[in-house]
Structure 1
């Protein structure tokens, strides 16, 4: 997993819970990296997963909820560091439809070793947008958080349902984004 994900996770823990909590997570999970992350480097996914599980155990918050909260927090740093010019994108729908075909293409150009999820799209009922998420990492809950973070960026209200999930044996996750008027 890209180091920038880990640096954002450490920033979130320190911002929300303090440096002591971050140090406690590192002590409890003993990551191979020793918690020293560089944005451009790759690290084992298990380091983040182990920290989320330890944090869940400590707080009593389900891992999926923690991952979603992290996704929402992560959005700002990913958006600000996006290698694609997004200045002409003025709606959440337009942004979401560019993730796979524009944004991820540019991310891959800049970081050729990055492993990115795959998104497919379909129109739903009314103004709904259906996004299908596929990834060996199965971080669909982070994607939900990222979409909520994007909604905040574009000052739009949405609701997301997740009726099909890779965690329950499906080949891909189905995310239905309902846009509020």
Structure 2
């Protein structure tokens, strides 16, 4: 079976920090282009910070960019994104910033200017037209959510707040 690669989406980009490289794909076939921090930062255990990336983008209408965590940072350092994935809407023209949190309970983590801190994934998105109804149509799953398909029988969901 042959696959035909789609042409890349043209994304306009501006540098707020001209000394850092533009986002780039590390390997052929990568979904995310690496974002770098423009500043040094130290995150103590449990601490979070908003780190600038030095770039802003203009996406075509019908697209959005999603800021995803880097798996290596998560595995080696316990670093995650607070709002993963972060959404960059097509109309946003400001600097892309990344909200990192150090989830390691014992060790701090250091970032240096130019370190790769996240990945930017560009995706086509659909617009929805919302239609209010008195009742939703039925489905096999119905209202089952949060663990309703099983997988970990020792986890119980807290009761809703009254």
TM-score by length of 2: 0.30
In terms of fraction of residues, the more strand-rich structure is 2
Q: Which has the higher contact order (CA 8 A, sep 6+)?
A: 2
